[in-house]
Amino acid sequence: MIWKLNPLAILSLTMISIPIVAHAKIYVSIEQAQKILFSNKALSKNPIIITDDLQEKMRSASSIRHPFQGERIWKSTDGSWLVIDEVVGKHEMITYAVAINPNGSIAGIEVLEYVESYGYEVAEAQWRKQFVGKTANDPIKLNQDIQNIGGATLSCKHLTDGVKRITVLYDLALKNTHLKLSSNK
């Protein structure tokens, strides 16, 4: 018996062996996130230096090992803050924005960019709204005060930990900056 190669069989085997490639999805830009989260407020860029001590306190409170970069921080004249951060989803980075009210509570979060093939549900408003009103004094823990999404556990956990890290940043560094600015007026 002579075997003859079927072109469709070869094509099928080729397609099966090609790895699934994650496509980056950009939900909103930084400028769009600013308008969504602070529609009527002017924000000015206010980068801060993240000391090793601050980095370690943020790390221990949130369990995020990826270092926080202090150059993507904006403030408004009323003491509100916008912080852009990144955390690892399962394998790739999730870029997100956290809006913080003058009292340190979360005004909202927006997912800016999500690269993973799965877990994109973390960008849905229904899941994100459970962070609103939380402060550094709240647990901000998955399956404790933040609900998980089946099939997106790692993205949920890491994004939740990242939001906790931002509330700790506010509590340890940004809150005091606002008080210093207010007292200098």
Q: Per-residue pLDDT tens for 121-147?
A: 999 999 999 999 999 999 999 999 999
State phi, psi for 18 to the nearest 5 degrees. -75, 130
| pLDDT above 50 for 181 | no
Beginning with the edge strand found earlier in the chain, give each strand of the sheet holding 81-88 in spatial order.
25-26, 106-114, 93-100, 81-88, 73-76, 43-45
Q: What is the mean pLDDT of residues 79-100?
A: 96
C-alpha distance from residue 50 to each of 80, 98, 170, 172 (Å)? 19, 17, 12, 11
| pLDDT above 50 for 182 | no
Both tokens of 46, joined, read 């206010």
Q: Are 172 and 54 in contact (CB under 8 A)?
A: yes
Q: What is the mean pLDDT of residues 43-54?
A: 96
Residue for token digits 């399962």? 90
Which residue would you say has higher pLDDT here, 118 or 170? 170
User: Beta-carbon neighbour count of residue 124 at 10 Å?
Assistant: 12
pTM score of the predicted model: 0.84
State phi, psi for 98 to the nearest 5 degrees. -120, 125
Both tokens of 90, joined, read 């399962």
Q: What is the mean pLDDT of residues 79-104?
A: 96
| pLDDT above 60 for 107 | yes
| pLDDT above 80 for 61 | yes
Q: Are 115 and 92 in contact (CB under 8 A)?
A: yes
